């Protein structure tokens, strides 16, 4: 099992401490943006477990994001669940949905799986609008949920500890927990198995790995991560509609994963920063062609960092510290 | 000589400006500024779908931006530069929340105006109302933005679905007071809102004149049976509130089964290319549709001086925009109305005053059909709420007399 070096531990600790201290220096709406980054990072991490580590290409993870979001909203609005209980509930629901989708997905490889998941991404917004469900889902106009209040209110260094700060810290806590779980999952035997199935499925099978179980399990776990992100998204945005889970969401998650870097846990954070802020940058450059600018920026990113931002950072690190050259990247 | 001329002209211009400015400042009263307003600038926020699934509507934001560029070139409004901060939300509600919060909390806009779409606007409705930030001229027909009780800081521009239903009912009763009416709509919120408005327009005494009320699902393959049932119920007027694809069907079916009812449909289903051509021009004769804007493709406005002026303006300030796209006329009209509100506010640029003025409009717009006005009140919260009716004759829509 790979362990973190002392330097890496310090780096992780500093990053978490900085994230916790962020509310002291940022206004509320920036915290909202920071929460969005963390949420998309969780979703991208989920996708990365499936696609980056296990090689199952999903172009439909927006669907699991939507399932998580609507699970949280419906449990709050119709079953009276307190907001924080909707996170484990959404996790469980999405795990089951992911497993159920993962089983038939075993029969599909490569492009075919991509198409099947893409169909899922296309179907979900339609299903949310379907009138038989609209009593719960609110149909096309969507539904609102109450903003989770801060459990206590006080001022710290002149900064009010309000609902926005609380939501951010709540999201941060869950993000740290899930990143730790993912890192634990991939750094050991399971991680090696997943990678083996991705790179040499025949050899893995020959060595006695039950590829079917691993492949469907990781589908479930991946959906769990993305579903939790969806639930958190519902809590921070407090409004859900089919338009929120358009097929583009799935594409953005995929973009985030590739740009961040595939097959590494922390890379999801970089991918999330890109998908949250790149559209804003593109929009501020040109109003007539934001899509084209976005595309050009994306091509430049991928051209100059073919292994994603994380891969580029890794190369930089190896360049600086030639003695610690290692090929691992988790 | 030349130099002297220029000096005289300059002096004249300075004098003219001074004279013009004098009474203006006198009338404008004491200065009261909300966030985003100052002696030199007024900041307004807008979220728009420049990218994403509804990117074709983005032209609306570009027209408005071009309009205020022109205004600022001419010296702004009451001496203030108007900064319309129009940002892309890709028609995605979470992005709308993010961008709207940025506009309100960081850019400090005075109000949000003319943001695109039902879902995106709904996602920030509670936030803006809680903070008492005007959510003005929402671009959506949903009734949730015109409810003074639940959302006192929201209002819309276009006719709501209820307005559309009410106007259709009034038209049918004007044409045939004893009409036996059939009603057909999509089984969703907008369809139901239209039906509520329709019954309101009929009034309690006439609701019983509805002999057939039916719905269909967006996923249905055909509405054949609904049309046949409406005919069998003996209806001689038909309010056909269906989506474009189904309107084409209903025109064809009604013609083929020989049902000669007064067939009234909506603005959204009045496209010649998407509805009438597929249905067949011969079968579409006599169809009636409600509209409110002068469409640039409508040949009867070819010589309209204000439409000509609009075309010249487009060439100069928004050359890349389509002169055949009615969204560009619409965006220009909304921008003009917004400029009117800001001008009327004078030096009292507070959120309360802007909302008060936006809810007491009574202005003509040369881009509305003759006889229509932009009229609001604290209870009538959609700026355009009446329609004029057109009949399809030959190969074009002909405006009917009031």
Asked if residue B59 belongs to a domain, the reply is yes
Q: What is the pLDDT of residue A129?
A: 81
For B108, nearest residue in chain A (alpha carbons)? A29
pLDDT at residue A189 is higher than 80: yes
Same domain, yes or no: B282 and B340: no
Asked if B98 and A243 come within 8 Å (Cβ–Cβ), the reply is no
Closest of B117, B107, B112 to residue B52, by C-alpha: B117
In a domain, B73, yes or no: yes
Among the partner residues A28, A130, A244, nearest to B93 by beta-carbon distance: A244
Asked which of A75-89, A197-211, A260-274, A282-296 is least confident by mean pLDDT, the reply is A282-296
Distances (CA, A) of B379 to B152, B202, B358: 10, 20, 12
Closest-CA residue of B relative to A144 is B123
| Alpha-carbon distance A190 to nearest alpha carbon in chain B (angstroms) | 35
CB contact under 8 A, A243 and B106: no
Nearest CA distance, B102 vs chain A (angstrom):
6
Claim to verify: residue B133 and residue B215 sit in the same structural domain: no
Per-residue pLDDT of chain B (402 residues; tens, 9 = 90+): 445 455 555 554 544 444 444 444 435 678 999 999 999 999 999 999 998 878 888 999 999 999 999 999 999 999 999 999 999 999 899 999 999 999 999 999 999 999 999 889 999 999 999 999 999 999 998 999 999 999 999 999 999 999 999 999 999 999 999 999 999 998 888 889 999 999 999 999 999 999 999 999 877 889 999 999 999 999 999 999 998 889 999 999 999 999 999 999 998 888 888 889 999 999 999 999 999 999 998 888 999 999 999 999 999 999 999 998 889 999 999 999 999 999 999 999 999 999 999 999 999 999 999 999 999 999 999 999 999 999 999 988 999 987
The confidence score (pLDDT) of residue B6 equals: 54
**Tokens of residue B366, six digits:** 């040369």
Contacts of B60 in chain A (CB under 8 A): none
> Does B143 reside within a domain?
yes
Within-domain flag for B19: no
pLDDT value of residue B197: 95
Q: Of B228, B262, B291, which marks where a domain is finished? A: B291
pLDDT, tens digit (0-9, with 9 covering 90-100), for A130-147: 777 877 887 777 888 888
Q: What local confidence, expressed as pLDDT, does residue B267 receive?
A: 85
Answer yes or no: do B86 and B130 share one domain: yes
Is B189 in contact with A283 (Cβ distance < 8 A)? no
- Render the burial of A54-86: b for 16+ CB within 10 Å, e for the rest: bbbbbbbbbbbbbbbbbbbbbbbeeeeeebeeb
Q: Is the pLDDT of residue A172 over 70?
A: yes
- The ranges assigned to domains in chain A are 21-148+157-256
Look at A29 and B106 and tell me if their CB atoms are within 8 Å.
Answer: yes
B95 vs chain A: nearest CA distance in angstroms?
9
CA distance B282 to B265: 17
Of B242, B258, B291, the last residue of a domain is B291
Does B89 fall in a domain?
Answer: yes
Which chain B residues are closer than 8 Å to A32 by Cβ? 97-98, 101
Pair B267, B342 in one domain: no
> Could you say which DSSP state residue A56 is in?
-
Torsion-angle region of B179 (φ positive above 0: left; ψ -120 to 50: alpha; else: beta) = beta
Total domains, chain B = 2
Residue B337: CATH number of its domain:
3.40.50.2300
Range of the domain at B106: 32-159+304-375
Interatomic CA distance for residues B203 and B210, integer angstroms? 12
CA–CA distance, B283 with B262 (Å, rounded to integer): 13
Which of A35, A68, A133, A243 has the most B C-beta neighbours within 10 Å, making it the best mutation to test the interface with B? A243
* Shared domain check, B177 and B71: no
Residue of A144, A232, A287, A295 to mutate, interface with B, max B Cβ within 10 Å: A287
In a domain, B133, yes or no: yes
B110/B237 Cα distance (integer angstroms): 47
pLDDT of residue B15: 45
Tell me if B16 is assigned to some domain. no
- A129 chain-B contacts, CB cut-off 8 A: 188, 218
User: In percent, how much of chain A has pLDDT > 90?
Assistant: 59
Beta strands in chain A (DSSP E): 143-144, 155-156, 159-160, 239-240
Whether ipTM tops 0.90, in short, is no
pLDDT per residue over A262-290, tens digit each? 989 999 999 999 999 998 888 888 877 88
Bridging pattern class, strands B362-363 and B237-241: unpaired
The answer to whether the CB atoms of B98 and A36 lie below 8 A apart is: yes
Nearest CA distance, B375 vs chain A (angstrom): 26
Residues of chain A with Cβ-Cβ distance to B50 below 8 Å are 283, 287-288, 290
Report if residue B18 sits inside a domain: no
Query: Which among B94, B101, B89 has a CA at the least distance from the CA of B131?
Result: B101
Do A199 and A281 touch, CB atoms closer than 8 A? no
Q: How far apart are CA A233 and CA A272, in angstroms?
A: 13
C-alpha span between B154 and B129 (Å, rounded): 7
Q: How many CB atoms lie within 10 A of CB A202?
A: 8
Does A3 or B33 have the greater pLDDT score?
B33
Q: Are residues B215 and B195 in the same domain?
A: yes
Alpha-carbon gap: B321 to the closest alpha carbon of chain A (Å)? 10
Cβ pair A243:B91 closer than 8 A: yes
Residue B316: burial class (beta carbons within 10 Å; 0-12, 13-18, 19+):
exposed
- What is the model's pLDDT at position A131? 72
Structural tokens at position A327: 């090929």
Single out the residue of A277, A233, A273 nearest to residue A66, CA to CA: A233
Question: CA-nearest residue of chain B to A35?
Answer: B98
Is B155 found in the same domain as B46?
A: yes
């Amino acid at each position: 099992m790979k362990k973190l070096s002392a330097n890496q531990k310090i780096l992780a600790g500093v990053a978490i401490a900085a994230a916790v201290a962020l509310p002291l220096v940022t206004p509320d709406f920036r915290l909202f943006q920071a929460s969005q980054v963390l949420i998309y990072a969780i979703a991208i991490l989920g996708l990365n477990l499936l696609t980056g580590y296990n090689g199952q290409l999903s172009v439909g993870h927006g669907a699991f994001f939507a399932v998580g979001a609507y699970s949280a909203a419906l449990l709050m609005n119709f079953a009276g669940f307190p907001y924080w209980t909707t996170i484990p509930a959404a996790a469980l629901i999405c795990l089951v949905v992911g497993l159920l989708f993962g089983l038939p997905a075993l029969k599909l490889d490569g492009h075919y799986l991509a198409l099947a998941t893409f169909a899922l991404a296309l179907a979900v917004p339609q299903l949310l609008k379907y009138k038989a469900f609209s009593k719960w889902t609110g149909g096309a106009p969507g539904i609102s949920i109450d903003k989770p209040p801060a459990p206590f209110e006080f001022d710290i260094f002149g900064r009010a500890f309000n609902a926005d700060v609380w939501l951010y810290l709540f999201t941060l806590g869950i993000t740290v927990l899930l990143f730790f779980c993912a890192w634990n999952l991939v750094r050991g035997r399971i991680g090696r198995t997943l990678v083996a199935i991705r790179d040499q499925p025949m050899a893995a099978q020959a060595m006695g790995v039950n590829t079917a179980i691993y492949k469907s399990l990781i589908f479930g776990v991946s959906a769990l991560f993305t579903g939790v992100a969806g639930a958190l998204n519902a809590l921070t945005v407090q409004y859900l509609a089919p338009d929120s889970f358009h097929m583009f969401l799935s594409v953005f998650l995929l973009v985030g994963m590739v740009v961040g870097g595939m097959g590494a846990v922390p890379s999801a954070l970089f991918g999330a920063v890109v998908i949250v802020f790149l559209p804003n940058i593109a929009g501020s450059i040109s109003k007539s062609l934001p899509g084209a600018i976005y595309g050009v920026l994306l091509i430049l990113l991928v051209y100059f960092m073919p292994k994603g931002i994380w891969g580029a950072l890794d190369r930089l690190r190896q360049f600086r510290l030639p003695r610690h050259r290692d090929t691992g990247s988790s | 000589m030349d130099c002297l001329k220029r000096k005289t002209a300059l002096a004249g211009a300075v004098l003219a400006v001074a004279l013009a400015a004098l009474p203006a400042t006198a009338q404008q009263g004491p200065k009261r500024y909300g966030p985003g307003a100052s002696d030199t600038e007024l900041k307004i926020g807008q979220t728009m779908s420049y990218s994403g699934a509804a990117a074709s509507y983005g032209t609306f934001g570009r027209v408005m931006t071009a309009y205020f560029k022109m205004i600022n070139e001419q010296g702004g409004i009451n001496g203030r530069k108007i900064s319309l901060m129009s940002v892309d939300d890709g028609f995605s509600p979470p992005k709308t929340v993010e961008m709207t919060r940025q506009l309100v909390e960081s850019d400090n806009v005075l109000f949000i105006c003319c943001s695109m779409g039902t879902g995106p606007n709904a996602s920030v409705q509670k936030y803006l109302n809680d903070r008492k930030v005007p959510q003005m001229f929402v671009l959506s027909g949903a009734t949730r933005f015109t409810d003074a009780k639940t959302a006192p800081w929201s209002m819309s521009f276009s006719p709501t679905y209820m307005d559309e239903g009410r106007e259709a009912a009034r038209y049918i009763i004007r044409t045939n007071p004893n009409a036996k009416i059939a009603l057909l709509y999509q089984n969703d919120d907008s369809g139901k809102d239209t039906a509520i408005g329709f019954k309101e327009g009929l009034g309690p005494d006439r609701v019983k004149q509805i002999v057939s009320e039916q719905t269909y699902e967006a996923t249905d393959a055909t509405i054949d049976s609904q049309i046949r049932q409406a005919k069998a119920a003996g209806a001689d007027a038909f309010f056909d509130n269906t989506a474009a694809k189904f309107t084409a069907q209903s025109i064809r079916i009604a013609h083929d089964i020989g049902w000669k009812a007064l067939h009234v449909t909506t603005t959204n289903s009045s496209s010649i290319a998407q509805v009438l051509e597929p249905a067949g021009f011969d079968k579409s004769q006599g169809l009636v549709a409600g509209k409110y804007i002068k469409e640039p493709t409508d040949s009867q406005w070819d010589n309209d001086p204000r439409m000509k002026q609009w075309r010249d303006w487009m060439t100069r300030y928004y050359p890349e925009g389509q002169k055949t796209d009615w969204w560009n006329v619409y965006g220009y009209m909304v921008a003009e109305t917004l400029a009117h509100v800001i001008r009327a506010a004078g030096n009292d640029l507070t959120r309360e005053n802007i909302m008060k003025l936006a809810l007491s409009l009574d202005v003509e717009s040369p881009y509305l059909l003759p006889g229509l006005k932009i009229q609001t009140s604290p209870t009538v919260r959609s700026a355009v709420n009446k329609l004029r009716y057109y009949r399809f004759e030959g190969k074009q829509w002909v405006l009917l007399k009031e």
